[in-house]
Chains A and B, each alone.
Chain A
């Protein structure tokens, strides 16, 4: 069990993340760590950097996921399914998996395409714009509102509170949690009202929340608390990650116009390009795992029971002991295996939706403004929690 003497490690304020906080290319650091260090204790957490080690940890039956030390994110309950493990986790994934399966999310394709086109045209009409705000943020937000069946008219209200919950201000864990809780309470109030509305017209809707309202888990209908929990999770896991990923990909293609030309010349490269860029950019850099028993990772690396592990997906993705020439971005790789969406039972539930949104967003962008230019010097990278480019000025000639 957890030794009570180890302080709780918070990857938002400590560990390797702090060392690469604002680097435009943390990949160099990550790759060296994977090559030379393999594993190290920083601020009380064992940092793992290699693909094989992380793969083993992620599928180990004696390892708990992100919730191994209780809930976080300014929400009292543990988030389903991110922060739960074992049979309980399996039960919820069984319910949620089909709702986010490739076949199912495919239905959203046309809506996302229309939305992307409209946002791009609006931004283009303005000439120069800051694309984190003009495109990267609203696309997943509106997709989310559609997915859960919330009114699009609430977008601005919603974005404001979601920012407070997902990007709380503060320098310490306590400050961050307090600010998060304030924003979380407002959002809770919104969702309570929204769910009441929704129950009233349940028979007409076929979105995820309507479906969940009609579902049963273990023979019981879902409680209001469960529904709110899932809404929170979708918001956390599904909004910012796609926004940030988009900002990273648009920036990379903006900084490398000759590589963008490769895709423009051969559109079938778009799919592998998204996959390869997501490997390289690895927008969710790391996750927490908790060893319940001693685990032997081989070659002298022992993980004692009670260890808090900060598993660096981003380092595994550029690990030279696993990938050939990992720092080269190559759209023609024979195979692209990555930890971008983690691995094992906590594999990102939204990976299919995320890939769909990213592909359509880039397809639409490259179709409408293939020769966009960015101000590379103005880009502001932030690699804490989720890697993103929060200042992304795009010029269109």
Chain B
């Protein structure tokens, strides 16, 4: 599945990053630096957790 950031929706809560710093990197301003990444089944649960943590719904997981 694909993990995607709707960049214009991200306002830098960094709550995705707090759940998993490796899977959800942030830039020096504190905003998500994900563009679009393929995630394997092994990390699906971690990805879902981070996506669910975003209060803005800026992160999307596409099956």
Contacts and interface: CB of A to CB of B under 8 A. Distances in A.
Q: Is chain B found bound to chain A in the same assembly?
A: yes
Interface of A: 55, 59, 94, 97-98, 100-104, 271, 334-339, 341, 343-345, 347, 351-352
Interface in B14-53: 14-15, 17-18, 26, 28-31, 49, 52-53
A193 B8 CA distance: 41
A94 B11 CA distance: 11
Main secondary structure of the interface of B (DSSP, over half): loop
A2 B29 CA distance: 35
A101 B14 CA distance: 9
A347 B12 contact: yes
Contacts of A104: 28
Contact of A103 (B11, B28, B57): B28
B13 interface: yes
B55 A338 contact: yes
B57 to A, nearest CB: 8
Contacts of B26: 101-102
Given A55-B57, A345-B11, 20 more contacts: A55-B55, A59-B9, A94-B29, A97-B12, A98-B29, A100-B30, A101-B14, A101-B28, A102-B30, A104-B28, A271-B18, A335-B49, A335-B53, A337-B52, A341-B13, A343-B11, A344-B56, A347-B12, A351-B13, A352-B30
B60 interface: no
Nearest to A336: B53
Contacts of B61: none
23 contacts: A55-B56, A55-B57, A59-B9, A59-B56, A97-B30, A97-B31, A100-B30, A101-B14, A101-B26, A101-B28, A101-B29, A102-B26, A103-B28, A334-B49, A334-B52, A335-B52, A335-B53, A339-B55, A343-B11, A344-B56, A347-B11, A351-B14, A352-B30
B29 A347 contact: no
A326 B48 CA distance: 21
B55 A337 contact: yes
